[in-house]
Amino acid sequence: MTSKSLWMSIAVAPGAISLQGDERCDVAVIGSGIAGLSTAYELSQRGRSVIVIDRGPIAGGMTARTSAHLAPLCDDLMSEMQKIKGEKLSKLFYESQAAAVDRIEEIQKSEGIDCDFRRLDGYLFQGDDMPSDVIDEELDAVRAVGASVERLVGVPLTGCDSRHVLRYPRQATFHPLKYLAGVAEACAKRKVRFFANTPVEEVLEEDGAVTVKTARGKIRAGHAIVATNSSIVDRIALHSKMSPYRTYVVAFAIDRGALPDALYWDTEEPYHYVRLQPGEDGKDFVLVGGEDHKSGEADDGDKRFQSLEQWARGKMPMLKDVTHRWSGQVLDTIDYAGFIGKNPGSKYIYVATGDSGQGLTHGVMGAMLNATLVTGGESKWAELYAPDRKPLKAAKNWVMENSTALKNLAEYVAPGEISSIDKLEPGQGAIIRDGLKKIAAYSDAKGDVHRHSAACTHLGCHLHWNSFENCWDCPCHGSIFGPEGEVLNAPATSGLTPVS
Ligand SMILES: Cc1cc2nc3c(=O)[nH]c(=O)nc-3n(C[C@H](O)[C@H](O)[C@H](O)COP(=O)(O)OP(=O)(O)OC[C@H]3O[C@@H](n4cnc5c(N)ncnc54)[C@H](O)[C@@H]3O)c2cc1C
Ligand code: FES
């Protein structure tokens, strides 16, 4: 993906080399986002020898594209979660996510990580033309799980003086990559080894242990934790219970103090989210995100950024220039909680996936949970996040999300987007029909055309071109491929098949 986020100027474990032959350890952690690095931290604290391995640079995945709200209440609304999970499990969800925010606060303090961490208020406000009863329903649901909340009228955004609002105290935010750079340093002090630019091809259970296979060697470990955001060890069990959504962020410059430092998000569907990040010389940044859609189902990034900017300037006329624009992907699960714990059908392989737009808190909480389970402990959160759970009350969401795959497969019989490769402009990608086959064709800056099968190498879904990020998106389970067919995002582990 070509866009660059506000965070990406910070390198995490920049000295990490690629794997150079075979290695051994107690636990192999695959994936070095917030979920993987937090897991390495928790396990190394418990005295385990840990290797972290990543397909790309350390912490170069979706964590580098976040907007960094640390908000423990369900971002799809506690009232919605309670309809599916009931009050007891929803309360546990809130407590576990709040424990993750506490853990980040504790780690940045004890390890001396300078990452702009701060506690602040969060405001959920009635969206444009939205009814206020959502706020009342949410107030009841939030009180039921025991979280602090105050009902107000008005937030300090233009035209929102009479909006109905819930104020949540003690939310938090931070610079995610400054935080992970510090976590990686703390891990390195405890002898955690990092291998970057080494794609994992397979994770196998053999002879009472795990073998992590790569083209550069293998790692033998007692356990493996798969923290690749979208799981590479599952074909269907987990993937059929979640769906990928693309979300967009615009960063603006703003004079320090022009907007109270808080988290703001509205009740629209999809919702807008707003937060501040300290800059330099009296200038800060405001991040405004939203405009989510199911991955691959729209290729209109510029229009979405325009509409985000229009919304933001309407609410905050003091905003200055746009400094960054980026997008990323989140995995929404059918019952709003992630899948963390033993991989269904495995003995020694654990997963952390299904971030549901709260991937930062899920990542840190999942690290605590998986570290407890791997070291033989028990956790009261295990049932809530059990990867093999079958949430019957979420059946409606299951049917809705899985209809994407059926709709997608029907695309194989549709005509191509353009009639011939000659019509491709440099820098453009498009699907072309070639007899019975569909080809993902991309013309590079020099006009050389790269042709690949349009079938995703995970389970064969039909890919869609993303012209803002210059990549191929898979609408089914979130794989992303570069214009030359290389894997950019799991669950796929192999590149697109070239077509001559
Ligand atoms: C725009 C945006 C805004 C967001 N806002 C928030 C927010 O405000 N609050 C919040 O809590 N969450 C938010 N999220 C979600 C959150 O940022 C992510 O869910 C979270 O960072 C994901 O962390 P992760 O460790 O699971 O995945 P990643 O950070 O994606 O890490 C996974 C790693 O696995 C590696 N990997 C994949 N396949 C392989 C392989 N085969 N071999 C080796 N390595 C592999 C990848 O290279 C990657 O580095 C947002 C996300 C986006 C995109
Ligand atoms: S990600 Fe599963 S088919 Fe593409």
Q: Which domain holds residue 134?
A: 121-173+244-333
From ligand 2's centre to the CA of 457, what distance in Å? 7
Number of domains in the chain: 3
Q: Are residues 439 and 298 in the same domain?
A: no
Q: Are residues 55 and 202 in the same domain?
A: yes
Query: Which atom of ligand 2 lies at the shortest distance from residue 405's CA?
Result: 3
Whether 405 is covered by a domain: the verdict is no
From ligand 1's centre to the CA of 317, what distance in Å? 32
Mean pLDDT of 256-261: 96
Mean pLDDT of 209-228: 98
Q: Say which CATH number the domain at 459 has.
A: 2.102.10.10
Which stretch of 210-214, 354-358, 453-457 has the lowest confidence by average pLDDT? 354-358
**Could you tell me if the CB of 135 is within 6 A of ligand 1?**
no
The set of residues, in sequence order, having a beta carbon less than 8 Å from that of 403 and lying 6+ positions away, is none
Task: List pLDDT tens digits, range 294-326.
Answer: 999 999 999 999 999 999 999 999 999 999 999
Q: Are residues 272 and 321 in the same domain?
A: yes
From ligand 1's centre to the CA of 406, what distance in Å? 26
Whether 290 is covered by a domain: the verdict is yes
- Output the pLDDT for position 235: 76
Whether 148 is covered by a domain: the verdict is yes
At which of 345, 373, 398 does a domain end? 398
Q: pLDDT > 70: what percent of the chain?
A: 95
Which of 161, 71, 79, 186 has the alpha carbon at shortest distance from 122? Answer: 71
Identify the band that residue 423 occupies on the pLDDT scale cut at 50, 70 and 90. confident
Q: Say which CATH number the domain at 284 has.
A: 3.30.9.10
From ligand 2's centre to the CA of 496, what distance in Å? 12
**Could you tell me if the CB of 496 is within 6 A of ligand 2?**
no
Q: Are residues 169 and 277 in the same domain?
A: yes
Q: Is the pLDDT of residue 465 over 90?
A: yes
Note the ligand closest to the C-alpha atom of 65: 1
Q: Residue 97, Cα to own-chain centre: how many angstroms?
A: 15
Q: Are residues 327 and 354 in the same domain?
A: no
Alpha carbon distance, N-terminus to C-terminus of the chain: 25
Task: List pLDDT tens digits, range 136-195.
Answer: 999 999 999 999 999 999 999 999 999 999 999 999 999 999 999 999 999 999 999 999
Q: Is the pLDDT of residue 490 over 70?
A: yes
Q: Are residues 227 and 350 in the same domain?
A: yes
Q: Is the pLDDT of residue 395 over 90?
A: no
From ligand 2's centre to the CA of 134, what distance in Å? 35
Q: Is the pLDDT of residue 489 over 80?
A: yes
**Could you tell me if the CB of 478 is within 6 A of ligand 2?**
yes
Q: Are residues 224 and 284 in the same domain?
A: no
Whether 274 is covered by a domain: the verdict is yes
From ligand 2's centre to the CA of 18, what distance in Å? 27
Asked if residue 249 lies in contact with residue 288, where contact means CB atoms within 8 angstroms, the answer is yes
Query: Which atom of ligand 2 lies at the shortest distance from residue 474's CA?
Result: 4
CA distances from 212 to 50, 51, 200, 476 (A): 13, 11, 7, 25
- Indicate the pTM of the whole model: 0.96
Mean pLDDT of 327-344: 95
At which of 349, 371, 398 does a domain end? 398
Q: Which residue has the CA at smallest separation from atom 21 of ligand 1?
A: 63
Whether 500 is covered by a domain: the verdict is no
Identify the band that residue 435 occupies on the pLDDT scale cut at 50, 70 and 90. confident
Q: Are residues 434 and 462 in the same domain?
A: yes
Q: Is the pLDDT of residue 401 over 80?
A: no
Q: Is the pLDDT of residue 372 over 90?
A: yes
Q: What is the mean pLDDT of the chain?
A: 94
**Could you tell me if the CB of 69 is within 6 A of ligand 1?**
yes
- Output the pLDDT for position 398: 65
Query: Which atom of ligand 2 lies at the shortest distance from residue 230's CA?
Result: 1
Query: Which atom of ligand 1 lies at the shortest distance from residue 490's CA?
Result: 38
**Could you tell me if the CB of 456 is within 6 A of ligand 2?**
yes
**Could you tell me if the CB of 464 is within 6 A of ligand 2?**
no
**Could you tell me if the CB of 360 is within 6 A of ligand 1?**
yes
Q: Encoding tokens for residue 4?
A: 């660059």
Q: Say which CATH number the domain at 394 has.
A: 3.50.50.60
Q: Are residues 199 and 215 in the same domain?
A: yes
- Output the pLDDT for position 404: 67
- Output the pLDDT for position 207: 92
Report the C-alpha gap between 16 and 384 in whole angstroms: 35
Burial (0-12, 13-18, 19+ Cβ within 10 Å), 242: buried
From ligand 2's centre to the CA of 446, what distance in Å? 30
Report the C-alpha gap between 80 and 1 in whole angstroms: 33
Task: List pLDDT tens digits, range 341-350.
Answer: 999 999 999 9
**Could you tell me if the CB of 491 is within 6 A of ligand 1?**
no
**Could you tell me if the CB of 474 is within 6 A of ligand 2?**
yes
**Could you tell me if the CB of 97 is within 6 A of ligand 1?**
no
At which of 304, 333, 362 does a domain end? 333
- Output the pLDDT for position 357: 85
From ligand 2's centre to the CA of 350, what distance in Å? 21
Q: Which residue has the CA at smallest separation from atom 3 of ligand 2?
A: 459
Note the ligand closest to the C-alpha atom of 58: 1
From ligand 2's centre to the CA of 381, what distance in Å? 29
**Could you tell me if the CB of 365 is within 6 A of ligand 1?**
no
